[in-house]
Amino acid sequence: MRWRHWTRLNDPRAGLRWRRAGLVARAFRPAGPAAQSSTPVRRGISGPRGWQALIPVLLCLAFGACATARPPRAGATPSDRPPHALANRLTALLETTAAEPALWTVFVRSLDTGDVLFDHRGDRLVMPASTMKIVTLAVSAERLGWNYRFETRLLSAAPVVDGVLRGDLIVRGSGDPTINSDARRAVPAFDAWASTLLEAGITAIDGRVIGDDDLVEDAAPGYGWSWDDLPYGYATPGGALQHRDNVALLTVHPGSVASEPVVIDIDVELLAIGAHVVNRVETVSPNGETELTLKRMPDGDLEVLGTVPANAAPVYRTASVQNPTVFFVRDLKQALTARGINVSGDAVDLDEVDATVIDDDLRLLATHWSPPLSVIAHTLMGVSQNLYAETLLRTLDQQRRPRTAAAGRGIIREVLASWGVDSSRVIVADGSGLSRYNYVTARTLVDVLERMHDDPRHATPFRATLPVAARSGTLETRLTGTAAAGNVHAKTGSMSNVSALSGYVTSADGEALAFAVLANNFAGAAGPILGIIDRLVDEFASSTRSDSGR
């Protein structure tokens, strides 16, 4: 039997809000997900197990706990109140034909009073998709701080003789995902390094460019990622050395007439994304559809299949890079050469060379610092950048060498537990939400949002990262012309058979609310489900205290 106690949040409004860390006997609840129900399974004290129900009372009498511990406020959950107008409207939406195919979980809480305005299966574990990034970013902010930066260094033990570095140039990474990010063919960070070397009098390198990626575990897909996601840029693996978002840009040029061959250009060396690109795209009639699919073959080849209309504009797709370190150092060598610094040796991963050639007495030639986490987080949440989320997951355990995703998952569980989040209400598989092994409850997402809102260190920077309805990021084209427009700050989540939205909204009479809406297990297009989600959120924005029964 496990005991808990009531604890008050460390917060200026602590007298208004109490979080259950529990003085509740587990004997009242069955094991497993059913334990999340607030309804006791035993009400009497008959039988030998029934006497366990008296233990909290005896403890109160013995230690005075009942005199100091304060229960949650009456009326804090909708189940304690008669149905009200808002709940009726929300329930009606969830019972429409459009909503019927999905498994829904919805949870809404006032951040001003702690009242739960609506709870529809709020403790049901479901797949969160990219709303998982709320958890990843919150824990990263708590553990690393908003000023955290990634460092990448150029090092060498070789002497410089007559302008020539007589040995290897080593680039040592810590996982910075922003280097040359979204720069297409430009490599501004590498150009800056070239300028630094030239200023130091280095005009040639008589050696190799070696990528030292040992601070972070070897690049690999996230735990539980689907095989059919892996060829695409949004599922690229991460590591200690990353640039240009670890993606290769594919440009598909249709033929001028139907059946004319399609040409595919790629902007990186083939080795960086796999062995070869296999072109199985056909040109169809001018009124045909553009349908392109990428497949990663067992031998590493990237297969591109589908159709493009004749004489149409080029079509662009991003493909994942399988060896980010090789991708990084080859582009670095090319950038140095373009600036007039000749490199005689190859660009290689440290794993490909004898590690004994790396002298311990390395000297620093140049350093690149990433923007702070507060800036990185805007891209992470605004465009839902999976690579950034996976990088943060691997960065959480600063003591481990190498840093790993498994250690990051442990840190997330540890921090959530310190916040009083029930470990049975979240299953962490990755940092981005792309894995279908992630499970979370709507209540847990709201708990994390509330934690960020209530902490003065996090409230403003965290909220600023979230897309704004009808204004920015993944919400730019949603909820236009509604009470939620410009009001809702929330993270979207979307993958096959999953749609979600979770964040903050201000009600019609100025009450701050946190909400989570998640839909799983629906077939077909997501459009109707997104429509229901948006209507629910518009109801939150239009609500008042009176129509929520308060």
CATH number of the 78-146+374-548 domain:
3.40.710.10
**Every domain range in the chain assigned CATH 3.40.710.10:** 78-146+374-548
Sequence-distant (6+) residues with CB within 8 A of 93 are: 99, 532, 535, 536, 539
Q: Please identify every stretch of the chain with a pLDDT value under 70, giving residue numbers as ranges.
A: 1-83, 183-185, 269-275, 356-357, 359
| Helices assigned H by DSSP within 309-441 | 324-338, 373-382, 386-395, 405-418
- Mapped onto helix, strand or coil, the DSSP state of residue 316 is strand
Instruction: Assess contact for 320 and 273: CB atoms under 8 A.
Output: yes
pLDDT at 550: 80
Q: What is the largest CA-CA distance in the chain?
A: 93
Helix residue ranges, H only, 4-95? 55-63, 65-68, 85-94
What pLDDT is attached to residue 184?
58
pLDDT of residue 228: 94
Domain 151-219+323-370 class, CATH top level: alpha beta
* pTM: predicted TM-score of the whole model, two decimal places: 0.84
Pairing relation of β-strands 103-110 and 512-520? antiparallel
The torsion angles phi and psi of 155, rounded to 5 degrees, stand at -135, 155
Instruction: List all residues 6 or more positions away from 39 whose beta carbon is below 8 Å from its beta carbon.
Output: none
CA 371 to chain centre: 18
Residues of the chain with CATH 3.50.80.20: 151-219+323-370
Using CA of residue 428, residue 431, residue 432, residue 436, what is the dihedral sign? negative
The reported pLDDT for the residue numbered 293 is 97
Between the CA of residue 93 and those of 186, 202, 331, 527, what are the distances in Å? 49, 68, 53, 15
Integer Cα distance of 37 and 32 in angstroms: 10
Quote the crossing angle between the two packed helices 132-144 and 442-454, to the nearest 10°. Answer: 30
Cα 456–Cα 462–Cα 464 angle in degrees, nearest 5:
115
